Structure 1
Amino acid sequence: MLHELLLALVGYTGDLIIDEREHHKSLGLHLSPDAPISDQRSFKLASDISFIDSSERDLIERLITLGFYYRELDRFATKSRNLSWIRSADVSPLERAAGLSKPKTEKPSVYRRAIANGLVEILSVYRSAVLQIEQKLLSETMPILATVTQGLNKFFVILPPLYELILEIERDDIRGGQLLNLLHKRCHCGVPELQACIQRLLWHGHQVLYNQLASWMVYGILQDQHGEFFIRRQEDRDVDYGSSISDMSEKLARLSTDDSSLTDWHLGFHIFLDMLPEYIPMHVAESILFAGKAVRVLRNPSPAFQFQDALRNQQIKKGSQKVQGSSGRVPFHKEPFLDIKMIGEELLPQSEADKIETMLQDLKESSEFHKRSFECSVDSIRAVAASHLWQLVVVRADLNGHLKALKDYFLLAKGDFFQCFLEESRHLMRLPPRQSTAEADLMVPFQLAAIKTISEEDKYFSLVSLRMPSFGITVKSSQVDLPNTKTYTDGSSGAVLSSTSSETSLDGWDGIALEYSVDWPLQLFFTQEVLSKYRRIFQYLLRLKRTQMELEKSWASVMHQDHTDFAKHRNDRMNCSISQPRRQRCRPMWHVREHMAFLIRNLQFYIQVDVIESQWNVLQSHIQDSHDFTELVGFHQE
Structure 2
Amino acid sequence: MYLRALANALERKLQDYQQVIIQTEAAILSGEDKLGEVVPLPTITARFAPFQMVFPAISTLISEIEQAAMTESPFVGGKLIDLLQDKAASGVPIQKEWMSELLRSCCLVMMRQIVSWVTYGQIQDPYDEFFILQLESVKPQSTGPRAGQTTRSQLRSRSAKSTTLLTATSSAPLSTTSIKWEAEFVVDENMLPVMIPSTLAHAILFIGKSIITARQAKPKPIPIPQAMTEKHLNLILPLASDNPSSRTNDQNYISSRVLDVSKLTNIISQIRTDIANHLWIVVQIGQKVVKTLEAFRRYFLLYDGEFGLQLIDALEEFERNRLSRLGRFVTPTAPTVSIRDHDLGGILTKAAQGTRAQDDPLLRRFELRLLRPPKRTHGDTESDEKQRAQGMFDDQLLGIPVRLWFMLAWPLDFFLTTEDLGYYGD
What is the distance in 2 between the residues matched to 1:531 and 1:350? 39
Q: Deviation of residue 159 (structure 1)?
A: 1.4
SS of residue in 2 equivalent to 1:221: coil
Q: Deviation of residue 224 (structure 1)?
A: 2.0
1:135 is aligned to 2:36: no
Whichever residue aligns with residue 250 of structure 1, its letter is L
1:182 is aligned to 2:83: yes
1:630 is aligned to 2:425: no
In structure 2, relative to structure 1, the CA distance for the partners of 1:137 and 1:372 (3 Å cut) is same
The answer to whether the 8 Å contact 2:135/2:157 transfers is: no
In structure 2, relative to structure 1, the CA distance for the partners of 1:344 and 1:533 (3 Å cut) is closer
The answer to whether the 8 Å contact 1:230/1:275 transfers is: yes
Q: Deviation of residue 197 (structure 1)?
A: 1.3
What is the distance in 2 between the residues matched to 1:115 and 1:208? 10
Paired position in structure 2 for 1:229: 130
1:239 is aligned to 2:154: yes
SS of residue in 1 equivalent to 2:217: coil
What is the distance in 2 between the residues matched to 1:196 and 1:203? 10
- Pairing partner for 1:532 from 364, 367, 383: 364
SS of residue in 1 equivalent to 2:259: coil
Please list, as runs of the form range in 1=range in 2, the aligned pairs for 1:9-48 lying within 5 A after superposition.
Answer: none
In structure 2, relative to structure 1, the CA distance for the partners of 1:239 and 1:129 (3 Å cut) is same
SS of residue in 2 equivalent to 1:222: coil
Any idea what the Cα deviations from partners look like across 1:54-75, whole Å, max 9, x if unmatched? Answer: xxxxxxxxxxxxxxxxxxxxxx
Please list, as runs of the form range in 1=range in 2, the aligned pairs for 1:195-234 lying within 5 A after superposition.
Answer: 195-234=96-135
Q: Deviation of residue 126 (structure 1)?
A: 0.9
Paired position in structure 1 for 2:174: 256
What is the distance in 2 between the residues matched to 1:266 and 1:184? 33
What is the distance in 1 between the residues matched to 2:204 and 2:161? 30
1:351 is aligned to 2:242: no
In structure 2, relative to structure 1, the CA distance for the partners of 1:380 and 1:154 (3 Å cut) is same
In structure 2, relative to structure 1, the CA distance for the partners of 1:175 and 1:155 (3 Å cut) is same
Please list, as runs of the form range in 1=range in 2, the aligned pairs for 1:420-569 lying within 5 A after superposition.
Answer: 530=362, 532-533=364-365
What is the distance in 2 between the residues matched to 1:630 and 1:278? 26
What is the distance in 2 between the residues matched to 1:151 and 1:266? 59
SS of residue in 2 equivalent to 1:218: helix
Any idea what the Cα deviations from partners look like across 1:18-70, whole Å, max 9, x if unmatched? Answer: xxxxxxxxxxxxxxxxxxxxxxxxxxxxxxxxxxxxxxxxxxxxxxxxxxxxx
Paired position in structure 1 for 2:196: 280
Paired position in structure 2 for 1:157: 53
In structure 2, relative to structure 1, the CA distance for the partners of 1:403 and 1:632 (3 Å cut) is farther
Q: Deviation of residue 114 (structure 1)?
A: 0.6
Extract unaligned runs of 5+ from structure 2.
Answer: 69-73, 137-150, 243-256, 300-349, 369-411
Q: Deviation of residue 633 (structure 1)?
A: 10
* Larger of the two Rg values belongs to structure: 1
SS of residue in 2 equivalent to 1:280: coil
SS of residue in 1 equivalent to 2:59: helix
Paired position in structure 2 for 1:584: none
In structure 2, relative to structure 1, the CA distance for the partners of 1:398 and 1:279 (3 Å cut) is closer
The answer to whether the 8 Å contact 2:135/2:156 transfers is: no
SS of residue in 1 equivalent to 2:11: helix
Any idea what the Cα deviations from partners look like across 1:255-311, whole Å, max 9, x if unmatched? Answer: 63334xx43311112221111111221211121111121121222222x2x2xxxxx
Q: Deviation of residue 514 (structure 1)?
A: 5.1
In structure 2, relative to structure 1, the CA distance for the partners of 1:248 and 1:372 (3 Å cut) is closer
Paired position in structure 2 for 1:370: 260
What is the distance in 2 between the residues matched to 1:150 and 1:266? 61
Any idea what the Cα deviations from partners look like across 1:369-407, whole Å, max 9, x if unmatched? Answer: 2232222222222222232233344xx245259839x98
What is the distance in 2 between the residues matched to 1:237 and 1:169? 19
Whichever residue aligns with residue 91 of structure 2, its letter is G
What is the distance in 2 between the residues matched to 1:188 and 1:636? 37
What is the distance in 1 between the residues matched to 2:163 and 2:203? 25
Whichever residue aligns with residue 164 of structure 2, its letter is S
Whichever residue aligns with residue 364 of structure 2, its letter is S
What is the distance in 2 between the residues matched to 1:216 and 1:129? 42
Q: Number of paired residues? A: 284
In structure 2, relative to structure 1, the CA distance for the partners of 1:401 and 1:201 (3 Å cut) is closer
Length-normalised TM-score, structure 2 = 0.57
The structure with higher relative contact order (CA 8 Å, sep 6+) is 2
Cα RMSD of the aligned pairs, angstroms, is 3.8
Paired position in structure 2 for 1:4: none
Whichever residue aligns with residue 236 of structure 2, its letter is L
What is the distance in 2 between the residues matched to 1:201 and 1:215? 22
Any idea what the Cα deviations from partners look like across 1:510-556, whole Å, max 9, x if unmatched? Answer: 7997586xxxxxxxxxxxxx4514899xxxxxxxxxxxxxxxxxxxx
Any idea what the Cα deviations from partners look like across 1:167-221, whole Å, max 9, x if unmatched? Answer: 1122223111011111112222222222121111111101110111011111111
Identical-residue share of aligned pairs (%): 26
Whichever residue aligns with residue 300 of structure 1, its letter is Q
The answer to whether the 8 Å contact 1:232/1:272 transfers is: yes
Extract unaligned runs of 5+ from structure 1.
Answer: 1-109, 307-342, 412-505, 517-529, 537-625
The answer to whether the 8 Å contact 2:118/2:204 transfers is: yes
In structure 2, relative to structure 1, the CA distance for the partners of 1:534 and 1:213 (3 Å cut) is closer
Paired position in structure 2 for 1:334: none
What is the distance in 2 between the residues matched to 1:151 and 1:168? 28
What is the distance in 1 between the residues matched to 2:82 and 2:54? 20
In structure 2, relative to structure 1, the CA distance for the partners of 1:134 and 1:227 (3 Å cut) is same
Please list, as runs of the form range in 1=range in 2, the aligned pairs for 1:303-452 lying within 5 A after superposition.
Answer: 304=219, 306=220, 344-345=222-223, 348-365=224-241, 367-393=257-283, 396-397=284-285, 399=287, 403=291
What is the distance in 2 between the residues matched to 1:390 and 1:634? 18
Whichever residue aligns with residue 276 of structure 1, its letter is L
What is the distance in 1 between the residues matched to 2:186 and 2:413? 25
The answer to whether the 8 Å contact 1:177/1:228 transfers is: yes
The answer to whether the 8 Å contact 1:252/1:267 transfers is: no
What is the distance in 1 between the residues matched to 2:96 and 2:289? 59
In structure 2, relative to structure 1, the CA distance for the partners of 1:249 and 1:637 (3 Å cut) is farther
Whichever residue aligns with residue 148 of structure 1, its letter is I
Q: Deviation of residue 242 (structure 1)?
A: 6.3
Whichever residue aligns with residue 415 of structure 2, its letter is F
Whichever residue aligns with residue 53 of structure 2, its letter is V
Paired position in structure 1 for 2:67: 171
Whichever residue aligns with residue 12 of structure 2, its letter is E
Any idea what the Cα deviations from partners look like across 1:70-126, whole Å, max 9, x if unmatched? Answer: xxxxxxxxxxxxxxxxxxxxxxxxxxxxxxxxxxxxxxxx11111111100011111
Whichever residue aligns with residue 4 of structure 2, its letter is R
In structure 2, relative to structure 1, the CA distance for the partners of 1:241 and 1:126 (3 Å cut) is same
Whichever residue aligns with residue 121 of structure 1, its letter is R
What is the distance in 2 between the residues matched to 1:187 and 1:380? 31
What is the distance in 2 between the residues matched to 1:231 and 1:178? 14
